[in-house]
Chains A and B, each alone.
Chain A
């Protein structure tokens, strides 16, 4: 059945699931994800202490396995303090199956710069450097170091896993916490419950303002897109930044099985736009496949429960959040050519 096997490849597109699934027995290897391979690095192995359904454990493995493949396994990862560091390395165990380094909370970009410099100095220019942190370590505590790393265009890919608050210390607000979200430090009480109204620090746009070679946003709900962006970033020299949204069942008050669904709804509502930028300009946008109102994304999360109290739905706030999504849709053209 050799002639049939050929047909079973890509001549007739695999319409059953297209390329939305992780892999597929009928797709050729090139169109499958790194994650579909038995030979993936599994940068973080089993037994780590992340909560059930942790988006960050998933996002970090997605990104690092793709980076490891792109780097041919010659890679060093530097980690800021945060959930990712804590749940993977409770003394004396480690979940890391790659070269991995942790220093303190705020200096991961600087340490990564140092590792890159050391590699260059010792002539090991084939070894690539990735730095990573949560939103706290990136947008708050490590922000100065990160800005410096961008400004010097150091040869580091920095990945931020954004779960929108300080989760492992008890869900305190960060500068990446979205408007109106309830955290331990922004309780849902009083006339203005939850986090202050505002857009927080939009780090992808701040990174773009540094005019570094590559900036991208990615989601654990779109693995193909995420891996393509990591792979592309690894092929570029200089400072690069990828911002990945990783839902947190603990801090968001969501069901553990809804992690990917929520990441998907964030993208499909327009609240979390997926795009790529080069040297400060947006160069590619992932359009919304099935648009949903922001309510579909917010309602399953207990951190937004105060917006949905029975009989006291906060329509004004919902409209304000919807306006943020609509602004993103307009700004990035998320509905495709000529639609807004």
Chain B
């Protein structure tokens, strides 16, 4: 334009306000972060729960399952038997109810079995050989992870079948064997060699055979005993042996009335199994109260539902054939049971002891450097290695909570350290992201959605058969449940930041690519961070 013809006060050509970089106003800048969701933080198997739920939310169950399989080779088992402490940690519990993580995991596990999905493996063969002793959850997990890392793995199992406590400790009504068998077979199909009925008694001989490393995970199978004065002993069994006999079809007749002594999950399992084996009365005698029992509340409740009678605060003092004298107990200020001097009698045909298990460490006593503590567990360092270089140990035989999930987690952890050790390196765990706290969420955006409930088998069949008690979710309910996940601390592309920026300074990068801040124009108002539902944006001060 010719300046001469312009009227007064409009001598400049119009321009876009984009010439004005308002980013210079900023004192704080929004930054996208990935925080550690409390479920992931809690998982003993180190699962990326939020990660696989994210994929499941879109209905891509295979992608979800593959993420699951990076950490846990047995999702169908895990979804059934894990005590899911992730759900206790779940932030959604503070909103309405925790996400039913275990039920979605079970759905994904069953889906993979049904579709015959295989884990994605890409590592080249390392040429190293690793021996795993024991085909329980720890051993199978270690074998799986070591195979994924390219090592050749042999499992030697003393028993006639693989599965360990998953088979000989957890009854079928909680874990159908077809599920267990399918997930074990999938691990073996990856090229793991399994030698059954092969008890390893000489560690050094195994090393001499040519194994570069050994992972021992023999579990804890020796039932603890107790001395009870008996005038004429009736039938006394131990819980672990009985559950094993049930599995192999060799369970003895228990009689009409059964007393189980103990208050742990095994006591509940064995009492419930006794009902199924035909015992008309299954009683549990436990010296402390419901509050102190080591069993999970839901296991006690399910046992009671099935007609198991629990005598709290009782110890067995004397046995005379079918007559049991029990003493009433009281819990003192320290939470310990104290005798009261009051007695009762109970009648039963069989007593089953469920007082815990010890580790059979005899195969390690001659190995130089291995430390065995007074309580019978084996000492390991932070790498899960014993005092003997190259000999690692995990699962129930090392000091830890004795659950399948912890065992599976040990297998993974040990595999990582064995892999590093075989390469002459040290495994460096990646830095943990800061925890995604409930307070960091903007819960306004989440819809009310009550947790879905898993159906249970009819009571008559629960009392008479070993059919699975808890049913799985349908696809619709699994999807619904996955979509209840708050995605704590991790962007799920809800477009809120893109929408609420008054300055159009958030750039949407398209599906799967999240967003980017345009710092030329971002004024640092903080609206994107405040309105992010899952707390995945943090405001950090501008320096300088």
Show the binding face of A for B, using Cβ within 8 Å. Answer: 1, 4-8, 11-18, 20-26, 32-33, 35-36, 38, 42, 44-50, 52-55, 57-58, 61, 88, 90-95, 223, 249, 255-261, 264, 290
**Digit string of B529-540 for contact with A (CB within 8 Å is 1, else 0)?**
111010000010
**Interchain Cβ contacts under 8 Å between A and B, 7 examples:** A8-B60, A13-B483, A24-B492, A25-B58, A48-B22, A53-B526, A290-B444
Contact call A1/B60, Cβ cutoff below 8 A: yes
Contact call B22/A47, Cβ cutoff below 8 A: yes
Given the known interface contacts A22-B494, A264-B444, the answer about A95 and B17 at a Cβ–Cβ threshold of 8 Å is yes
B19 partner residues in chain A, CB cutoff 8 A: 47, 93
- B544 interface hit (Cβ, 8 Å): no
The tally of CB-CB contacts under 8 A between chains A and B is 187
B201-209, B352-360, B432-440, B517-525 - interface stretch? B517-525
Indicate which residue in B10, B493, B503 contacts A24 across the interface (CB closer than 8 Å). Answer: B493
A18 partner residues in chain B, CB cutoff 8 A: 446-447
The chain A residue sitting closest to B20, CB to CB, is A47
**How many Å lie between the Cα of A5 and that of B479 in the bound state?**
12
Chain A interface mostly = loop
Given the known interface contacts A7-B479, A22-B499, the answer about A46 and B505 at a Cβ–Cβ threshold of 8 Å is yes
B485 partner residues in chain A, CB cutoff 8 A: 16
Given the known interface contacts A17-B447, A88-B17, the answer about A26 and B58 at a Cβ–Cβ threshold of 8 Å is yes
B503 partner residues in chain A, CB cutoff 8 A: 46, 48, 50, 57
Indicate which residue in A6, A22, A38, A90 contacts B500 across the interface (CB closer than 8 Å). Answer: A22
**How many Å lie between the Cα of A335 and that of B525 in the bound state?**
33
Given the known interface contacts A38-B510, A45-B504, A48-B17, the answer about A16 and B498 at a Cβ–Cβ threshold of 8 Å is no
Whole-angstrom distance between the Cβ of A135 and the nearest chain B Cβ: 18
The chain B residue sitting closest to A221, CB to CB, is B444
The chain A residue sitting closest to B449, CB to CB, is A15
The chain B residue sitting closest to A59, CB to CB, is B502
Whole-angstrom distance between the Cβ of B492 and the nearest chain A Cβ: 7
Contact call B447/A20, Cβ cutoff below 8 A: yes
- B400 interface hit (Cβ, 8 Å): no
B25 partner residues in chain A, CB cutoff 8 A: 52
Contact call B487/A46, Cβ cutoff below 8 A: no
Whole-angstrom distance between the Cβ of A161 and the nearest chain B Cβ: 12
The chain A residue sitting closest to B514, CB to CB, is A25
Residue tally, chain B, CB below 8 Å to A: 62
Contact call A23/B18, Cβ cutoff below 8 A: no
A45 partner residues in chain B, CB cutoff 8 A: 16-18, 504
**How many Å lie between the Cα of A24 and that of B445 in the bound state?**
12
Contact call B530/A260, Cβ cutoff below 8 A: yes
B156 partner residues in chain A, CB cutoff 8 A: none
- B108 interface hit (Cβ, 8 Å): no
Given the known interface contacts A48-B17, A94-B17, A223-B499, the answer about A26 and B524 at a Cβ–Cβ threshold of 8 Å is no
A50 partner residues in chain B, CB cutoff 8 A: 502-503
Indicate which residue in A5, A11, A23, A49 contacts B20 across the interface (CB closer than 8 Å). Answer: A49
B:1-44 near A, CB below 8 Å: 9-10, 12-22, 25
Contact call B524/A23, Cβ cutoff below 8 A: no
Contact call A256/B57, Cβ cutoff below 8 A: no
Contact call A24/B494, Cβ cutoff below 8 A: yes
Contact call B499/A93, Cβ cutoff below 8 A: no
Which 3 A-B pairs have CB atoms at the shortest separation, nearest pair first?
A22-B499, A23-B495, A257-B526
Contact call A47/B521, Cβ cutoff below 8 A: yes
**How many Å lie between the Cα of A20 and that of B531 in the bound state?**
11
B:21-80 near A, CB below 8 Å: 21-22, 25, 57-62
Given the known interface contacts A15-B447, A23-B494, the answer about A1 and B526 at a Cβ–Cβ threshold of 8 Å is no
**How many Å lie between the Cα of A101 and that of B16 in the bound state?**
16
A47 partner residues in chain B, CB cutoff 8 A: 16-22, 521
Contact call B529/A257, Cβ cutoff below 8 A: yes
Whole-angstrom distance between the Cβ of A141 and the nearest chain B Cβ: 23
**How many Å lie between the Cα of A25 and that of B490 in the bound state?**
14
The chain A residue sitting closest to B493, CB to CB, is A25
**How many Å lie between the Cα of A160 and that of B225 in the bound state?**
82
Contact call A42/B504, Cβ cutoff below 8 A: yes
Whole-angstrom distance between the Cβ of A21 and the nearest chain B Cβ: 4
B523 partner residues in chain A, CB cutoff 8 A: 52-53
B492 partner residues in chain A, CB cutoff 8 A: 16, 24-25
- B480 interface hit (Cβ, 8 Å): yes
**How many Å lie between the Cα of A23 and that of B449 in the bound state?**
19
Given the known interface contacts A15-B449, A46-B504, the answer about A32 and B495 at a Cβ–Cβ threshold of 8 Å is yes
The chain B residue sitting closest to A96, CB to CB, is B17
The chain B residue sitting closest to A21, CB to CB, is B494
**How many Å lie between the Cα of A23 and that of B14 in the bound state?**
35
Contact call B527/A15, Cβ cutoff below 8 A: no
Contact call B502/A258, Cβ cutoff below 8 A: no
- B476 interface hit (Cβ, 8 Å): yes
B487 partner residues in chain A, CB cutoff 8 A: 16
B504 partner residues in chain A, CB cutoff 8 A: 42, 44-46, 61
**How many Å lie between the Cα of A52 and that of B527 in the bound state?**
9
**Digit string of B382-406 for contact with A (CB within 8 Å is 1, else 0)?**
0000000000000000000000000
Contact call B58/A8, Cβ cutoff below 8 A: yes
**How many Å lie between the Cα of A118 and that of B539 in the bound state?**
49
Whole-angstrom distance between the Cβ of B100 and the nearest chain A Cβ: 13
Contact call A257/B447, Cβ cutoff below 8 A: no
Whole-angstrom distance between the Cβ of A47 and the nearest chain B Cβ: 3
Contact call A21/B524, Cβ cutoff below 8 A: no
Contact call B479/A259, Cβ cutoff below 8 A: no
